[in-house]
Amino acid sequence: KRKITIPDLQSQKGRGRIVCLTAYTTPVARLMDPYVDMILVGDSLAMVAYGMESTMKVSLEMMIAHTRAVVKGASRACVIADMPFGSYEKSPEQAFKNASRLLAESGASGVKIEAGFEMLPTIRFLTQRGIPVTAHIGLLPQRANQYGGFRIQGRTGQEREELVKLAKNIEMSGAPLVLVEGVVESVAREIVNSVAIPVIGIGASPVCDGQVLVTDDILGLFSDFTPKFVKKYAHLSEEMENAFKNFAEEVRSGDFPTMEYCFKN
Ligand code: KIV
Ligand code: NA
């Protein structure tokens, strides 16, 4: 089984949907590796693993540590890592310095940045220098402060035109992939039909060339907030809670450990 590369993902456009999930640790990456094409080490890490209220406080060091853990568990899937807030927006040079560090220290195949038109020069700068950049457009969680929360994008004619234009410009700037979050179906469709690079969607309808969700959401592990576009494929919180409760009860009652769990002379 050969490692899936970014060009492999690109050549999948129009041939079969790209399957992507997030991971932050080695064991979870190892479990999903046979089934997904791409693993995203998302800065959603902030909320699902660190109890932070937004993605804005993730550091480059945290992304490096978790991406390195995921790369260890991924022998087949292509690993892409999020650039954290504040690590790439200032200039193409700043983005290159931090993206190259993220890739070199983790072994991931590419990075993802949240992008508007202002990031086009950065996308070009990085992709011309060996760093494949996935551009994340539409609903941008790192800009929640500016928008005053999470709002579905592309409902107005102007937003719709801008998003399609942005996607085209991202392709022209050299990005191998574009990820579209939280947009209405008609806009996602227009984007998919306007660019030759694969469009990975989250909350962006089935028209996309691929789909991604946050793993902790689909496992029913993170439930502080569940967006409409999340489908739960398991209810792990309940199962874990039962395990914790039963362990506590059995320790207190003396039912655990029995002799079968003990060393004997
Ligand atoms: O951080 C993340 O998990 C993401 C996905 C939701 C696309 O960016
Ligand atoms: Na993210």
Same domain, 245 and 150: no
List, chain by chain if needed, residues with CB within 6 Å of any ligand 1 atom. 22, 40, 42-44, 82, 136, 179, 181, 202, 212, 214
Residue located nearest, by CA, to atom 5 of ligand 1 = 42
58 falls within a domain: yes
Same domain, 243 and 146: no
14 falls within a domain: yes
* Contact status, residue 209 vs residue 195, Cβ threshold 8 Å: no
If phi > 0 it is left, if psi is from -120 to 50 it is alpha, else beta; for residue 53 that is alpha
**pLDDT per residue of the chain (265 residues) written in tens, 0 to 9:** 789 999 999 999 999 999 999 999 999 999 999 999 999 999 999 999 999 999 999 999 999 999 999 999 999 999 999 999 999 999 999 999 999 999 999 999 999 999 999 999 999 999 999 999 999 999 999 999 888 778 888 899 999 999 999 999 999 999 999 999 999 999 999 999 999 999 999 999 999 999 999 999 999 998 877 889 999 999 999 999 999 999 999 999 999 999 999 998 8
Q: 186: annotated binding-site residue? A: no
Same domain, 251 and 180: no
Quote the pLDDT of residue 203. 96
Which pTM was predicted? 0.97
Cα-to-centroid distance, 264 and ligand 1 (Å) = 50
- The ligand 1 atom at the shortest distance from the C-alpha of residue 141 is 8
* Residue 240 belongs to domain spanning: 236-265
CA 177-199-206 angle, to 5 degrees, is 155
Same domain, 202 and 255: no
Same domain, 20 and 121: yes
- The ligand 1 atom at the shortest distance from the C-alpha of residue 43 is 1
Evaluate whether ipTM surpasses 0.95: yes
Q: Which of 105, 181, 239, 241 is catalytic?
A: 181
Same domain, 118 and 103: yes
Quote the pLDDT of residue 223. 81
190 in catalytic set: no
1 falls within a domain: no
Same domain, 226 and 251: no
Domain count, the chain: 2
Same domain, 58 and 183: yes
